[in-house]
């Protein structure tokens, strides 16, 4: 790299302890890594490796016990609850494994929700939400209730919602965990396409064939980074 | 997020489970309906009675024998009031501001005429009674001064008595009625007054008090003396004057209980107001308890809702909802719940009031203040019992909420 680029995400000596009773459990032990714009990173590891904790801290859902977390160069380690809520709202697009959409609510309203918290006026919200739904090819489902669409469609709506605030990173936590393998691969193709369009994507997964879609794979084990490699897997190269 | 949007969101959430929403609101619906019904019926009944009392005139003073402080039994059979007392009140002191005075004696007798038999309350009255009680006649005349001084055996029939004895629309003046087997000539029929409380003047027969005392009752005392003052403003002063006059006449020692008592229709109105007011607030208080119970029901369901929707709260927080957004969302939901319950309760309460007032023939009054009270109370119940569940939801940590199964 010739010019010094500011990483979108920078973990500096991050540790996370969980205290249960008298026991202290160290979920993350002094881990550091940077993620730059337009990267597509998969964070892998077996359960208990600390990948969920990494996701929580990265997604501003939780604070680190130790170390510093820089988001676009800003240290947000000490941000309070409301400031973190604003970070989540503007900088991070979440896609979860399950329970992505509000039940009994239309697809459109689901996509509009983050904009409601950002106080964007209703008419602009609708335009942006429809544009975002068009990106995932679901604009004709806008008025459907969220519980009346298929699992693959739900994940695509979640992606549309994650994109709608134009966040710095898209944080996907096992986004294909509840899908059949064919649908899962369609969704992963879509993530690759988003990445090609310039989005920065962080993917949490324990499945190798899903991680294979990413350009870079960080493997965690017992709260430490076991490996951080550029993906040479054919899946990525071929698609 | 705007409050208006939160209301729409809350309505959507409540509509999505309409049966539970209705069941949750039931306590509030019943409570508010009961409060509206009780307050409205109380006001209607009070108005019905006060109208009746007012129609007798608010410048009326009634003198009873015996002391009211001895309780109702104190007045029964007490023989301390006389015709002379009535005359003294009217004549002795012109400054008493008295318009007119009528002694009244009364007892029920069997009355026979035209082959019909009825029981009627016979009122022995003076000619001034008609003016004091605003009685006019549909046929003939009322008792005259000559009737009184001449101890005439004449009778004025109450509206219903005339119908019961002679049939509707009959000419009855000149007919003979037998009261306690003594013949009286009918000289008139009083107009229809309608019942008020336990008394119905339409069932009365009026005769001269002199005749009643001498021929029917054989007594030299009177049951009550009615006094009409010249206007309402001077009624308190007049009552004082009458009191001291009678104390002197009856030779009551200083500080001793007088052997008579005075009541004004104004007193009766204020007593009535106190009693019905007390009764209404008592019943409304009982109804208010059901509102508290309804509120607890709402808190209970809202707590269940928060638990059920823990993952939803987690998701909303992940999407950028602040503590305040979640707090307001749940708080507004419980307020919308209680206020819509209140609105349904108002509709039911007003409807029931309308039905009952039609059947019971009392005025239909729904005061705006009772409606405002209902809306206010249901909002406050929603706020008070909604704040704890809402706070519980708002305090959820995003990761705990997201992980919740």
Tens-digit pLDDT profile for residues A13-57: 999 998 888 888 889 999 999 999 999 999 999 888 999 899 999
**Which chain A residues have a beta carbon less than 8 Å from that of B6?**
none
pLDDT of A10 > 90? The answer is: yes
Query: Looking at the complex, does the CB of residue A126 fall below 8 Å from at least one CB of chain B?
Result: no
Q: Which of B312, B320, B402 sits opposite A85 (nearest CB)?
A: B320
Domain borders along chain B are: 3-52+270-403, 79-258
* A3-7, A108-112, A121-125, B217-221: segment of lowest average pLDDT: A3-7
Neighbour-count burial for B72-92, b at 16+ CB within 10 Å, e otherwise: eebbeebebbbbebbebbbee
Q: Which of B311, B325, B402 sits opposite A117 (nearest CB)?
A: B325
pTM (two decimals): 0.72
Report the pLDDT value the prediction gives residue A114, as an integer from 0 to 100: 93
Report the pLDDT value the prediction gives residue A238, as an integer from 0 to 100: 44
Query: Looking at the complex, does the CB of residue A83 fall below 8 Å from at least one CB of chain B?
Result: no
pLDDT of A236 > 80? The answer is: no
Reported ipTM: 0.91
Please indicate whether, in this complex, the C-beta atoms of A117 and B1 are within 8 angstroms of each other. Answer: yes
Please indicate whether, in this complex, the C-beta atoms of B312 and A102 are within 8 angstroms of each other. Answer: yes
- Domains of chain A (ranges, CATH numbers): 39-61+87-238 (3.40.50.300)
One-letter-per-residue 3-state SS of B148-180: HHCCCCEEEECHHHHHHHHCCCCCCCCCEEEEC
Report the pLDDT value the prediction gives residue B344, as an integer from 0 to 100: 94
Kindly report the nearest CA distance between residue B367 and chain A, in angstroms. 40
Report the pLDDT value the prediction gives residue B76, as an integer from 0 to 100: 55
- Cα B142 from chain centroid? 31
- Of A239 and B300, more confident: B300
Report the pLDDT value the prediction gives residue A235, as an integer from 0 to 100: 54
pLDDT < 70 stretches in chain B: 1, 55-57, 68-77, 92-96, 195-198
When scoring B318, B323, B326 by the number of chain A Cβ atoms within 10 A, the one with the most, hence best to mutate, is B318
**Which chain A residues have a beta carbon less than 8 Å from that of B5?**
116, 122
> Is B205:B158 a contact under the CB 8 Å cutoff?
yes
Q: Which two tokens stand for residue B363?
A: 């005025």
């Amino acid at each position: 790299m010739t010019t010094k680029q500011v990483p979108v995400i920078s973990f500096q000596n991050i540790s996370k302890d969980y205290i249960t009773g008298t026991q202290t459990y160290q979920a993350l032990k002094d881990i550091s890594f940077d993620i730059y714009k337009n990267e597509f990173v998969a964070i892998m590891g077996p359960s208990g490796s600390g990948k969920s904790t990494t996701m929580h801290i990265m997604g501003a859902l939780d604070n680190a016990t130790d170390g510093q977390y820089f988001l676009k160069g800003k240290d947000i380690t000490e941000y309070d609850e409301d400031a973190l809520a604003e970070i989540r709202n503007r900088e991070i697009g979440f896609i979860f494994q399950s329970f992505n959409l509000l039940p009994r609510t239309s697809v459109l309203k689901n996509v509009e929700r983050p904009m409601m918290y950002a106080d964007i006026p209703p008419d602009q919200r609708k335009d942006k939400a429809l544009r975002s739904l068009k990106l995932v090819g679901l604009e004709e489902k806008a008025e459907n209730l969220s519980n009346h669409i298929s699992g693959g469609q739900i994940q695509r709506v979640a992606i549309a919602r994650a994109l709608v605030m134009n966040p710095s990173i898209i944080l996907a936590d096992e986004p294909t965990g509840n899908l059949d393998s064919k649908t899962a691969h369609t969704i992963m193709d879509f993530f690759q396409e988003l990445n090609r369009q310039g989005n920065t994507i962080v993917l949490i997964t324990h499945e190798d064939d899903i991680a294979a879609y990413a350009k870079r794979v960080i493997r965690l084990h017992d709260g430490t980074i076991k490996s951080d490699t550029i993906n040479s897997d054919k899946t990525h190269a071929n698609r | 997020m705007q409050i208006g949007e939160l209301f729409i969101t809350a309505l959507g959430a409540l509509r999505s489970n309409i049966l539970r929403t209705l069941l949750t609101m039931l306590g509030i619906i019943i409570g508010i309906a009961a409060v509206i019904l009780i307050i409205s019926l109380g006001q209607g009944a009070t108005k019905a009675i006060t109208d009746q009392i007012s129609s007798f005139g608010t410048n009326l003073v009634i003198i009873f024998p015996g002391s009211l402080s001895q309780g109702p039994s104190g007045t029964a059979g007490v023989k301390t009031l006389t015709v002379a007392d009535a005359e003294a009140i009217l004549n002795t002191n012109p400054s008493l501001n008295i318009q007119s005075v009528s002694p009244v004696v009364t007892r029920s007798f069997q009355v026979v005429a035209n082959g019909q038999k009825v029981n009627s309350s016979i009122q022995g009255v003076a000619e001034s009674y008609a003016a004091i009680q605003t009685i006019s006649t549909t046929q003939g005349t009322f008792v005259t001064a000559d009737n009184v001084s001449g101890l005439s055996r004449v009778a004025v029939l109450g509206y219903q008595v005339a119908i019961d004895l002679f049939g509707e629309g009959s000419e009855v003046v000149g007919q003979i009625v037998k009261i306690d087997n003594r013949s009286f000539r009918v000289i008139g029929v009083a107009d229809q007054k309608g019942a008020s409380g336990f008394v119905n003047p339409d069932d009365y027969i009026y005769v001269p008090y002199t005749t009643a005392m001498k021929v029917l009752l054989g007594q030299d005392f009177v049951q009550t003396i009615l006094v009409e003052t010249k206007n309402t403003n001077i009624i308190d002063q007049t009552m004082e004057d009458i009191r001291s006059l009678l104390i002197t006449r009856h030779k009551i020692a200083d500080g001793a209980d007088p052997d008579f008592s005075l009541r004004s229709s104004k007193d009766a109105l204020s007593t009535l107001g106190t009693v019905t007011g007390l009764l209404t607030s008592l019943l409304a208080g009982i109804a208010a308890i059901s509102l508290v119970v309804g509120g607890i029901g709402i808190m209970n369901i809202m707590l269940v809702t928060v638990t059920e929707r823990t993952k939803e709260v987690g998701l909303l927080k992940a999407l950028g909802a602040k503590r305040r957004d979640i707090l307001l969302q749940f708080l507004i939901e419980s307020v919308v719940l209680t206020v819509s319950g209140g609105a349904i309760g108002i509709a039911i309460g007003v409807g029931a009031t309308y039905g009952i007032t039609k059947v019971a023939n009392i005025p239909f009054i729904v005061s705006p203040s009772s409606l405002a009270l209902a809306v206010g109370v249901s909002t406050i119940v929603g706020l008070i019992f909604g704040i704890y569940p809402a706070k519980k939801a708002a305090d959820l940590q995003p990761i705990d909420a997201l992980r919740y199964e």
